[in-house]
Structure 1
């Protein structure tokens, strides 16, 4: 981690700016994601992966609070049914944060261990405006009003 922090060119002071903190956190997050994806590759062979994880999309309303607004966008999700005890097993929903979802979100980690214990279906939903779940008009300023916790 020291190597990662030292690569970030910040102000040469003891107190880092908010911008610099954001850059450091972003780089740490990206490095963690890469390490997670590498661990998945070690856990699962490429031949098993297609049968283990299903990717899908759902047409989601852009504005849930305006009945006249019929605009939608395609929201991506991943499903892992490996441990699911149908039909009454629970569903564990992982809601993506500020980035795209990946196969790691449904095949490895503590939540997957819990799914094994409880016979749960694993579902990862990509957060709106992130990853492949960006609205059709992209990230135009007038559309970002729909990027809120209430809309999510």
Structure 2
């Protein structure tokens, strides 16, 4: 005879109760409850009629946008680069050396009855023929915009200043379409009939004060303090160019990152 097998052990009482509970749940399942609809979320009607109406409205809107773009005047060519004489060191009254700082200016949308008929570029005198041509073009432009100019008299002139900073050189389109970083500000300037200017930061792009990038030159002349001095002098010269003084003008300086900080500091310095 072989060895006798031991009788099987009885299941623990806790395990037996658990198996019984699972068996009961499987035999008598609880009815599933549907999730309550979110009271804050409106129900969408997905009927074919509503879908067709929605698509028809979208098509009409796109057609209207396309027709508006076709009727719009062609974009203006980018303005030429201009240069302003700046002091080399704003912190040293004895320093008399100057350098040429590049800037861009767009006054195509600017409406201000107080601006002079005879313009001149900052730091550059125009000859007689240039003055006559500018006067004739101004007279023609003023005749076309009589009503708009009359409406602009009651409100101050607006100037948008794009503050340049560390990075790639500024392009002329920065004051016409704004490029990637200033498009919203330039579009706002167009709607407000504002003057748009952009000032390049010293030691970047074509704005080179000393012609060298030595450590001694950068330590002395490349700083936020010198950049604020450049902005202050530039604002003064633009105001003089267009005859804007006191409450007749509102300056809006903008920029991102370091240029944004310069824009904020320039506002504090101008108080």
TM range (shorter): 0.5 to 0.7
Matched, 1:149 2:228: no
SS of alignment partner, residue 114 of structure 1: helix
- Kept in 2: contact 1:89–1:118 (CA 8 A): no
Equivalent residue pairs, number: 105
- In the aligned structure 1, how far is the partner of 2:81 from the partner of 2:184? 21
Q: 1:138 aligns to what SS in structure 2?
A: coil
> Deviation per CA, 1:81-121, whole angstroms, max 9, x where unpaired?
11111244211011111131112210111111111121110
**Partner secondary structure for residue 150 of structure 1:** helix
When you count strand as a share of all residues, which structure comes out higher? Answer: 1
- Secondary structure of 1:74's partner? strand
Paired with 1:80 and 1:142, the residues of 2 have a C-alpha distance of 36
Structure 2 match to 1:136: 210
- Runs of 5+ unmatched residues, structure 1: 1-43
TM-score normalised to structure 2 length: 0.37
**Does structure 1 retain, via aligned residues, the 8 Å contact 2:100–2:207?**
yes
Taking the aligned partners of 1:107 and 1:59, their CA distance within structure 2 comes to 24
Give runs of ≥4 in structure 1 deviating > 3 Å. Answer: none
Alignment of 1:27-66 (within 5 A): 48-49=76-77, 53-66=79-92
Unaligned segments of structure 2, at least 5 residues: 1-73, 115-155, 178-182, 228-271
Q: Which residue of 2 aligns with 1:70?
A: 96
**CA separation in 2, counterparts of 1:104 and 1:92?**
14
TM-score by length of 1: 0.63
Structure 2 residue 201 is the aligned partner of structure 1 residue 127: yes
In angstroms, what is the RMSD of aligned CA positions?
1.7
How far 1:138 sits from its partner (Å)? 1.8
Where is the helix percentage greater, Structure 1 or Structure 2? 2
